Chains A and B, each alone.
Chain A
Amino acid sequence: MQKTLLEVRNISKSFPGVKALEDVCFSVKEGSVHVLCGENGAGKSTLMKIINGIYQPDGGETLIKGEKVQITSPIKAGELGVSMIFQELNYTPEMTIEESLFAGRWPKKSFGRVDWKTIRQKTLQLLKQENLSYDPETKLKDLSISNLQMLEILKAISRDADIIIMDEPTSSITNKEIEILFEKIADLRARGKGIVYISHKMDEIFRIADEISILRDGKVIETRPKDQFDIDSVISLMVGRALGQGYPKEEVPVGDVVLEVEGFSGPAGFSNVSFNVRKGEIVGFAGLVGAGRTEVMRALFGLDDRFGGTVKVHGAPVRVRNVQDSIRNGVVMLSEDRRRYGIVPIRDVKENVTLASMDQFFQKGRLNASKERSRVEEICKKINVKMASIDVQVSTLSGGNQQKVVLSKWMLQDPDILILDEPTRGIDVGAKFEIYKLMTNLVKEGKSIIMVSSELPELIGMCDRMYVMAEGRITGELDRAEFSQEAIMRYAMNMTRKAV
């Protein structure tokens, strides 16, 4: 019988106006991985914050190794053996690995001097024990996100944490790095640690879970061992309705070439990239992280510089010196990094939506407020942005709704060609489906879409044609009939050109 490391019973938590958690029961056994899934806003984060001591529950109790405890702060949580690895890692770029491993609990010598010798010893010992070959003096700014994650895991181990919570750890690391992470998780599991793993990604969930809990609207809907679930049942439980297999893809007659890119090269590491897009087409761009897809699109949209290459829109060569040029040409881009390039979080929905189309509402620089309100309300309704009103701050919306705000912004422009870079990243299943539907509607209206994505299933599901990139070049082009994960991966790893 496995021991239960952590158990919460009947936890409730309300925030003014919202019941975030209601009678939640959840437990983690030693030597097991418990996956927690649910749509954004289902209460996953709130639950984890309670376990980590950031919030206090309104009711219910928490037990660690069978003993009732009050987790009053993250520090207390650490003492009790709970360690949390956040999705967005906050770190001090100039700190070294050894400094950060022992941050806040550096061993001291007399007069409060830090005992660097002991730190070095302990660090090397830890690295050896975990079979890692980092240099303890490497600065954190020189580490990749996956290495930083590994460092967080090391920190947890060095603190003797028994319960490790990971919040969507694979959202920004490469496939190869995911493998390394999963090996580590398996290792921790074998050593009897209890792991709580939060994720949206079905393939991952089914790979590493021992148990799966599904959270919806602040309640645990279902907790079962993995083998009693399948992908469809998890999804339908998450969204509370059957979603139907597959994608809302419809055949749309394809017209003339509307965008032609030739010989694109740029300082961001892509060269001689040529492709075209036809009217009514969804053209996919597949490839591994770092293949240069985003970089090409940014240059095409006028955000980054390029060395050479021509762009033709509707057959005529156009200049793209900056974003303004691109918008004028009818080409818009939804960035992969919504918070950085998409929204102005502290301003309201209305201002965000009209940001790119101010000339429609400002005549001679003067605002026509009522026209603005009605247009924004109309477009937000069409895109189905869920919000109290168009006057709320965008930062208060969920990820999916923020993405819809950015889409609304570009819809106001009525563009011919939309570049969607990872349009469904970090948003929940229901909102994903809505975005797919919207894409279908757009091509039905005669628009064209370039879809960059790292999730092959959605590319295969939605695209008419696909380009595959590797190392800054286009290595393959596939028609819908030729789509298969294997074919795409072969091009993405550039196996057709040289042996790996």
Chain B
Amino acid sequence: MNNLMTREKWQTIKSRYSIYLVLIVMIIVCNLLNENFLSPRNLSNISAQISVTTILAFGETILIIGGLLDLSCGSVLALAGVLSVYVFKETGSLSLAFAVGLIVGVLCNFVNGILVRRFNIPAFIATLAMMTVARGIALLFTKGQNIYQIGDYVWFGQGKIGFVPLPVFFMIIVGIVTWYILGHTSFGRSLYAVGGNEEAARASGINVGRIKIGAYLINGAFVGLAGILLMARTNVGAPNAGQGYEFEALTAAIIGGTSFSGGLGTAGGTLAGAFIVGFLNNIMNLTGVDSYLQQVIKGGIIALAVGYDMWAKVNRTRKTLGAAKLPNERKEAKA
């Protein structure tokens, strides 16, 4: 029994921290491959590059933990961004523009939440619809044209607090907010339960609907913020911006150990996942890997990460159970 306890603890530690180990190994390997890799300039560049998708990834993490998903974040980001830029050009108020960006993100995701909650549309379909609608509205509103000369708006993307670029600063803030929500609030606890077993959560008195809509609202604020930062970073209000970002965000979350079956995932894991992807992109660029080949490698790594996760899960269950219960035989417990 004693033996079992220490081994279980070891298993827990291993499964909880293995992603950080991967990150450290990666840093060492990258550093060997290119001596510029660890330079403050390069690291700061990487952080700024991944900031937008990482903010989206935190939102996805919250949703996936709750058994949900957002495919619309790339489009909603563009809509929130162009509206925010437009408001800034009309009024010249940075704070008003900032507020509009967040509100648009939250509103779109409120609709996502309602579609999922009230009309029982699967999250995949509901947000797929939103993805098309939001992109369409962004294009309609701008008549398909980019908004140039956005003036002081670029401060959001290019300003600095101390030596930290603003997008990186916001990424850290969003990370901390996510970490706090997931680990230290009853909302977070409920979210894990809803994703882990919705029926049991309901039967324990958790208001499942409120949790799901709440998760979308939080995601909405993150998406709105990401939209503002992206427009400011690229110095243009582009209705076509952010295409495919939803998959970048999902990649970071999944590599970071967020389980697609719901109920598992952490903010730290997602941040590590985002950096792993960022480092990988960076080192492949620095060492001159063909850009088409880069895509192949990235896809392979996703399959590898999730494959390892599933394999480890089955293995872990098998080991810790002693009496050896595979997923399907764990049902034995239920008579």
Contacts and interface: CB of A to CB of B under 8 A. Distances in A.
Nearest to B202: A323
B331 A87 contact: yes
Nearest to A426: B335
Contacts of B259: 346
A389 B6 CA distance: 10
Contacts of B322: 15-18, 20
Contacts of B329: 45, 49, 86
A342 B200 contact: yes
Contact of B7 (A16, A45, A342, A366): A16
A362 interface: yes
Contacts of A309: none
Contact of B324 (A20, A172, A425): A20
Given A167-B332, A362-B186, A341 B199 contact: yes
A358 B190 contact: yes
Interface in A343-402: 343-347, 351, 354-356, 358-359, 362, 365-367, 388-389, 391-393, 395-396, 398-399, 402
Interface stretch (B167-175, B204-212, B296-304): B204-212
B118 interface: no
A409 interface: yes
B257 to A, nearest CB: 13
Contacts of A347: 192-193, 196, 263
A329 to B, nearest CB: 11
B31 interface: no
B203 A40 contact: no
Contact of B204 (A49, A389, A409): A409
A43 B323 contact: yes
Contacts of B330: 345, 395
A320 to B, nearest CB: 12
Nearest to B335: A426
Interface in A323-350: 323-324, 326-327, 333, 335, 337-347
Most chain A beta-carbon contacts within 10 A, residue among B184, B187, B332, B335: B335
Most chain B beta-carbon contacts within 10 A, residue among A13, A46, A323, A425: A323
Contacts of A54: 326
A18 B184 CA distance: 35
Interface string B303-335: 000000000000001111111111011111111
A323 B3 CA distance: 41
Interface in A389-419: 389, 391-393, 395-396, 398-399, 402, 409
Contact of A343 (B5, B9, B192, B197): B197
B146 interface: no
B107 to A, nearest CB: 24
The dominant DSSP class at the B interface is helix
B272 to A, nearest CB: 20
Contacts of A55: 324
Contact of A346 (B202, B206, B263, B325): B263
B184 A366 contact: yes
B14 interface: no
Contacts of B325: 45
A459 to B, nearest CB: 17
Contact of A49 (B8, B197, B263, B324): B324
A402 B199 contact: no
Contacts of B320: 392-393, 396
Contacts of B204: 323, 355-356, 409
Given A340-B200, A356-B205, A367 B5 contact: no
Interface residues of B, number: 50
Interface in A15-65: 15-18, 20, 40-41, 43, 45-46, 49, 54-55
Contacts of B145: none
Given A15-B324, A337-B334, A338-B333, A395 B205 contact: no
A171 interface: yes
Nearest to A343: B200
Given A341-B200, A343-B200, A344-B263, A362 B323 contact: no
B207 to A, nearest CB: 7
Interface string B172-193: 0000000000011111011011
A405 B204 CA distance: 13
A144 B319 CA distance: 35
Given A16-B7, A339-B333, A409-B204, A391 B12 contact: yes
B4 interface: yes
A398 B206 CA distance: 25
B201 interface: yes
Contact of A344 (B1, B201, B324): B201
Given A18-B322, A346-B264, A351-B193, A303 B186 contact: no
A343 B326 CA distance: 18
Contacts of B9: 388-389
A398 B203 CA distance: 21
A425 B333 CA distance: 9
A354 B204 CA distance: 10
A303 B3 CA distance: 42
A392 B323 contact: no
Given A343-B197, A344-B201, A345-B196, A17 B7 contact: yes
Contacts of A245: none
Interface in B222-262: 259, 261
Nearest to B187: A365
A402 B197 CA distance: 14
Contacts of A362: 185-186, 189
A324 B1 CA distance: 39
A228 interface: no
A402 B333 contact: yes
Contact of B323 (A18, A393, A425): A18
B334 A399 contact: yes
A88 interface: yes
A160 interface: no
B267 to A, nearest CB: 15
Given A17-B3, A303-B202, A392-B8, A426 B197 contact: no
Given A15-B321, A366-B185, A426-B334, 7 more contacts: A41-B323, A342-B200, A345-B330, A355-B204, A359-B186, A367-B186, A395-B330
8 contacts: A15-B319, A45-B323, A54-B326, A337-B334, A339-B331, A356-B204, A393-B320, A395-B330
Interface of B: 1, 3-5, 7-9, 12, 183-187, 189-190, 192-193, 196-197, 199-207, 259, 261, 263-264, 317-326, 328-335
For the complex of A and B, the 7 pairs showing the least CB-CB separation, nearest first, are: A426-B335, A18-B322, A399-B333, A344-B196, A362-B186, A358-B186, A88-B331
